[in-house]
Amino acid sequence: MSTIQSSTEHLTLNADGSGKDIKFQANGVEKASISSAGAFTSTSIDATKLSGNLPAIDGSALTGLASANQAQVQTHLITTSSQAITAATVTNITGLNATITPSTASKRIKVSVRWSGGRSISNAYDSLFGIKRDATEIGNPATAGSRPLGITSSASNLDGGVSSTTDIAIYSYIDSPATTSAITYYATYKHATSGLTLYNQRVKDDSGNHNTEYTTSSITLEEID
């Protein structure tokens, strides 16, 4: 038998029997309850009325939270190499690529490229760097006549890649791939002159002298909202 009992210090509500709840109603409508295990349930709690120290919260079972602080980042650094460039052909820079799998189809990918190196000819004009998503060029401006297209040119005009400092190109692009499949992004290079050799992380002169330095190049992929 359920009972209500009062004393000088306590008011006791006893729901007698296993699995019995203490229920609180207003106008016949249940507003809250206390289970036999001690769990309190309320149909509405005014958070503005809460005060005092709240218990520690265990977030291991929480769902539906934004993942803004769980950014996915992929970075790849490459070593020294040289490669032949065909005139006006978009060529993947050797090793300068990275792969990422977006967590949702709405995620965007920021692709950041830092290339350094040299070339076998001095006319650095008509020299363009870009990005490919798998086999597709991205980030280029709209076509305008016969103008060559790319994301950026190099920082300076080289002197043929002999005993001089390496050239550099730093650029980025934010892509919206709309997929949850793995994607590989490639840094690319093209030049108007055929027979050019691209030297990655070094200048043309690789004699080992103090003024024929080595540098590094990298590609970084960041998943963003």
Cβ(188)–Cβ(92) below 8 Å: yes
Cα dist from 192 to 89, 127, 132, 196, 200, whole Å: 8, 7, 19, 9, 19
Per-domain residue ranges of the chain: 73-224
| Res 160 pLDDT > 60 | no
Residues 79 and 8: their CA atoms lie apart, in Å, by: 82
Predicted local confidence at residue 156, as pLDDT: 56
Given this model, what pLDDT does residue 33 score? 84
Longest dimension (CA), the chain: 100
| Domain formed by 73-224, architecture | Sandwich (2.60)
Please provide the distance, in angstroms rounded to a whole number, between the alpha carbons at the two ends of the chain. Answer: 58
Indicate the helix (H) or strand (E) that contains 221: strand 217-224
Place of tokens 């001095």: 122
The 10s digit of each residue's pLDDT in 2-52 is 777 777 777 777 777 777 888 888 888 888 888 877 788 887 766 666 666
